[in-house]
Amino acid sequence: MDEQVPVYLQKLRSIPKESFLFGPSPIQFLPRLSKELSPNGDVKIWAKRDDCNSGLAYGGNKVRKLEYLVADAIAKGCDTLVSVGGVQSNHTRAVTAVATASGLKAVTVQEKWVPIDPPLYDKTGNILLSRLMGGDVRLNNEPFHIGHKTATAQAVEEVTNKGGKPYYVPAGASDHELGGLGFTNFVVELAAQEKALGIFFDTLIVCSVTGSSHAGLIVGAVAEGKNRKVIGIDASAKPADTLAQVARIARSTASMLDPKLEIPDSAVILDERFHEGIYGIPGPSTIEAMELAARTDAMITDPVYEGKSMAGLIAMVREGSIGAGSNVLYVHLGGQPALAAYSSYF
């Protein structure tokens, strides 16, 4: 192996993955949002558009993560991906998409993670796309938490009993040994784009719920050693659980890539001011943030995840905790297909 390449990067490059992305997701400057929040031009805001990263059913952050899990599933001879999410889960839509594109089956358990039932909530948006792709979609009433679910274990058992070979994908593709790799690789990808652009993003803002997107970014940032800050914005409304899972996934991923790579507590940052008290329901700050992003640079965010992380970015620039001279990168994870199910909020 090349001694000039860091150990973590050698290991990352050696782990098999599928190719579901167009390539590096684009980086977009947000001039009107930057001017709105920082009239003097002291803070410049950009977005890395992982919502535009793939041709598979509108893409998003889960597709980036699933490149590694699907490669593992295929290597193990599995024929069915089994996973779980809420009724309007971006993750289960992505699981169904990558399964379909890989010639696999998908069984997704869609639970009542959000205590609302507006018209067509279980018939439009993400769940409609999963059904359109031929996914085996199963509704139940188990409430939200980021841990492993009984109904998913039962689905795995059922696939096995019918002669299939299931591959279990945890919620968000997160609590899995390969779950953090996609967003560790995101930082490697970002560094190459920064070199081409002649810019360095000192602060990354990312939504955090099941935690592996956030955790992977932390690993990438610590490993590259450039003092890049990664700030997670909690949207789970269970921040203690999310913080613990982010730290655990980050440390497990780091250990896999380089046993000497340590993740300090100071690198694991989770701002819990913007979850609005409950997972999946937008509050005033969420809606204000969604409208501001849409009405400045026509960037569409969703009410469950990205509206809440955008609210965090807006507040931090306004309050000065992201200081003058910063180049801020908003990590856009996707989620817009769920908007149709939330039309009553707008």
Q: Which residues make Cβ contacts (< 8 Å) with residue 25, sequence separation at least 6?
A: 48, 49, 50, 52, 53, 189
Distinct helix (H) and strand (E) counts, the chain: 11, 10
Neighbour-count burial of 288, counting CB atoms closer than 10 A to its CB (0-12 exposed, 13-18 middle, 19+ buried): middle
Neighbour-count burial of 20, counting CB atoms closer than 10 A to its CB (0-12 exposed, 13-18 middle, 19+ buried): buried
Residue pair 186/64 in contact (Cβ under 8 Å)? The answer is yes
Neighbour-count burial of 297, counting CB atoms closer than 10 A to its CB (0-12 exposed, 13-18 middle, 19+ buried): middle
Residue pair 216/172 in contact (Cβ under 8 Å)? The answer is no
Rounded to whole angstroms, how far apart are CA atoms 64 and 40? 36
Half-sphere exposure of 301 (CA within 13 A, CB side): 32
Q: How far is the first Cα of the chain from the last one, in angstroms, to the nearest whole number?
A: 55
89 in catalytic set = yes
Q: Which residues make Cβ contacts (< 8 Å) with residue 299, sequence separation at least 6?
A: 28, 30, 33, 47, 293, 332
| Catalytic entry in 25, 89, 130, 212 | 89
CB atoms within 10 A of CB 236: 26
Residue pair 247/263 in contact (Cβ under 8 Å)? The answer is yes
Rounded to whole angstroms, how far apart are CA atoms 160 and 36? 55
Active site residues: 89
